[in-house]
Chain A
Amino acid sequence: MGAMSRRLRLGLLTMFAAACAITFTVLLLYTFSRPGLRVRIDLSSTGTAGLSDRTVTALNQLPEDSRLTAFLFPEDDSFRWFNSNVYPQAFDRITSLMEDARVQSGGKLQTLVVDINSPMVAREREINRSARKPGEAIILESGGHRRVITFEDLFQILRANVNDNTPARIQLERVDAALGDAAVALASGTTLKAGIVTGYGQASPTDPNGLLGLSQLLVRDNWEPVEIEGPADADDCDLLIFVDQKQPFLPSDLSAMETWLAEDKAVLVALGPNASPAAAQQWNQLLKDRGTGFEPGLLCEPIRSANGMVEGRSDCAKLELNSERFSGQHPITIPLIEDNRLLLVIGARPVIFQSGTNDFTQERLLRTDPLAWADSQDPNGLVFSYDKNEERGIRSIAVASERWAPGEEGRMGRIVALGSSASLGPGLDFNRDFITSSLQWLGGDERQASGLIGLGERPFRPDRASLARINNMSVYGIPGVTLLIGLWIFWRRKR
């Protein structure tokens, strides 16, 4: 063997071996990035560091070209006042779940996190491509459809208080639930149509002070909201939504409504205390078979304060509902209980049970405190205090009714009667999950779990001496001792 050929052979062998190793590593990485071989272990004690099974299942049902983009821009300045950690916490949660989504979707989902550190060109390109608007935090795109999740959809935030310099705080979050909902909606591939009735003095779904929020929420939950004058126009709708009603139905609409209900189609009716009594009366007739209806009055509760129970203030009509006030039996409210959700219903009338037929079930979704009363209008207006003409006791705020057994074509006859119209209007932010959950139930999709969960904050409030000790030990103590040990060893070895 000649020297040259030997050198060449061995040189080539070395390069070949290195190339083989690189190829092997690339193949290894490729193989282990495949869905079947990729495992994620959630080390957290609560098991909430990653996505829930429901969300993972939903993400896995999406087609190959699906794309999940998170835009982590701190756009609301008030969330940054007084050193608030809203954005760090929120972005931390979103990024970790985005990564989990990418992994758990088995690579089918292309995930992208765009933040203020992303290269400007790429950032602008993503914003333009996805037509992202301010406030939108996550956009899920699949098969030409898209779901948009706003920052407010993901986090329930207690805003900063400028009076006592309290920073804004995240109370609860629902990133996992929102991702799951969006994926379920896109995976189903069908969009249900929700008719928002506006012909009887209702607010407009395009009015920011009216029902725009509800309309946007419907879009995000895979509904196609359409504005209709009355039930007579609701030909191809799957759900009718009535938010307050200032006049009773015209005969044609009344007849259409009777037909609608007879066909076991879904209805969400929210009549607040300001709804027309005649309209309420009409609804009571319409819902009689379903075993529910509305009563006049404004539901009030005494306010618990340091001085005992306080009445006679308008705040009595702001009903703070904790999970004890939710039905533990119904698919709409079970997730809210599991998530320890808090609702704030502002201005509600009582929803009542009527003696309906045995074909329908009724379930009280939300209820008042046992000391609540329905404040009735007296000549001086609302007084927000209990008087002897009124009766204390537990009252229903929302009732759900459905057919015992689904009828032909799976018709379920689901309706939700809500005694507050504000909960779908200005107060939507405080009741978002209840409304979302209700809409899903009305659309025939029972949410098994998810919803809002607590972030589980771990604040650290050391006293000044402890903090100083930690700081000193960190900066001087540990490095100093290390250098001293090094010196001692050096000196010992030199001896």
Chain B
Amino acid sequence: MIKTERLTKHYGTIHALTEVDLEVAPGEILGFLGPNGAGKSTTLRILSGYLPPTSGKASINGLDLMNESLAARRCTGYLPENFVAPSELRVSEYLRFRASLKGLRSKQVPAEVQRVAKHLGLEPRLRQPFSALSKGFRQRVGLADALLGDPPALLLDEPFSGLDPLQREEFRTILKNLATSGKAILFSSHVLPEVEEIAMRVQILHHGRSKAVGTLEDLQSHLHEKAKLCLRLSESGAQCEQVLTDAAKELDFSFTEQNDKSYLIELNDHSKRSELFQRLAASKLPVVEFRELRPDLDQLFRNLVEESPS
């Protein structure tokens, strides 16, 4: 649905994007992560048709952004970073204008505006001028604008910026619902927990290059992250430490005692998780809990950024 191939964008000598590939399928939410200046907004602007790429391809719904820009834009709902609407217009006027701009017939426009306004809880604000809205509602107007005409692909640039926790929660729900309805959603964000919360896949961008893409687990594996396991026993004892010390030599892991009954095990080789479990079972230790800890996106992100040469 949303696809780029070797997407490259240079501003003079500055390489904003270098050969970025990405793909978002219908019903999927792809979180676009990266520090400031990583090239997230540039990618979204290229995909929205606002900027041309220096090289590479970008397409929406199979329509090439360079050659079939107008048709591709018809399939796209785009929420730019720091969305602003003309201050002299009321919310309803702006949405009506945008609906008409997207080619909706004049008879369809009121119903469509009503639909998105209801969907995003904007109904009470329809008669207010845009300039009188709070940041959260402005973002909703922007999202409503993106949703007008029911486009199959959504490009959202920092949709959570400036929202309070309650609004974020609402936004997350809205995005999840949209993905459920089959839309391909590509959104960029700085807020890692938000991405962790709703993105089905994550793509990490740094210095204009794609550093990693996949589910969080895939990323962890891909980046040779140690598997972190939590082992909790009903009682502590020297026998336990002995078992772990013996196994550590063979299975190549390290462990630290968190308290007298639990240990944090960092396994270098993910595939030896089951073998470790069998060892522990065979040693008849009083295991209460043996679980893998979820990978930490924040840590992953930091690792990636720190790994990359500046």
Contacts and interface: CB of A to CB of B under 8 A. Distances in A.
Interface of A: 1-3, 6-7, 10, 493-494
B54 A7 contact: yes
B129 A2 contact: no
A443 B55 CA distance: 83
B119 interface: no
B55 A2 contact: yes
Contacts of B270: none
Given A7-B54, A10-B52, A493-B90, 11 more contacts: A1-B55, A2-B55, A3-B8, A3-B10, A3-B54, A3-B55, A6-B54, A6-B55, A493-B88, A493-B129, A494-B129
A493 to B, nearest CB: 7
Contacts of B129: 493-494
Nearest to B52: A10
Q: Which 5 pairs of residues, A with B, have the shortest CB-CB distance?
A: A3-B54, A3-B55, A3-B10, A3-B8, A6-B55
A3 B15 CA distance: 12
Contacts of A494: 129
Interface string B85-125: 00010100000000000000000000000000000000000
Nearest to B88: A493
Interface in B49-66: 52, 54-55
Contacts of A493: 88, 90, 129
Contacts of A2: 55
A19 to B, nearest CB: 21
B309 to A, nearest CB: 22
A14 to B, nearest CB: 12
B167 to A, nearest CB: 26
Contacts of B55: 1-3, 6
Nearest to B89: A493
Interface string B1-45: 000000010100000000000000000000000000000000000
Contacts of A6: 54-55
Contacts of A1: 55
A488 to B, nearest CB: 15
A6 B129 CA distance: 44
A1 B52 CA distance: 15
Nearest to B90: A493
A2 B90 CA distance: 46
Contacts of B8: 3
Nearest to A5: B55
A2 B6 CA distance: 12
Nearest to A2: B55
Interface string B163-186: 000000000000000000000000
Interface string B209-225: 00000000000000000
B20 to A, nearest CB: 14
A63 to B, nearest CB: 57
A2 B10 CA distance: 12
Nearest to A494: B129
A6 B66 CA distance: 12
Contacts of B88: 493
A463 B267 CA distance: 105
Nearest to B132: A494
A10 B54 CA distance: 11
A7 B13 CA distance: 13
Contacts of A7: 54
A31 B55 CA distance: 43
A1 B10 CA distance: 15
Nearest to B127: A495
A7 B52 CA distance: 10
Interface in B140-161: none
A6 B9 CA distance: 12
Nearest to A6: B55
A3 B56 CA distance: 9
A399 B152 CA distance: 98
Nearest to B8: A3
A5 to B, nearest CB: 10
Contacts of B52: 10
Contacts of B54: 3, 6-7
A200 to B, nearest CB: 91
A237 B52 CA distance: 85
B303 to A, nearest CB: 31
B66 to A, nearest CB: 10
Nearest to B129: A493
B299 to A, nearest CB: 35
- Tell me which of A2, A3, A7, A494 has the highest count of chain B C-beta atoms within 10 A of its own C-beta: A3
Contacts of A3: 8, 10, 54-55
Contacts of B90: 493
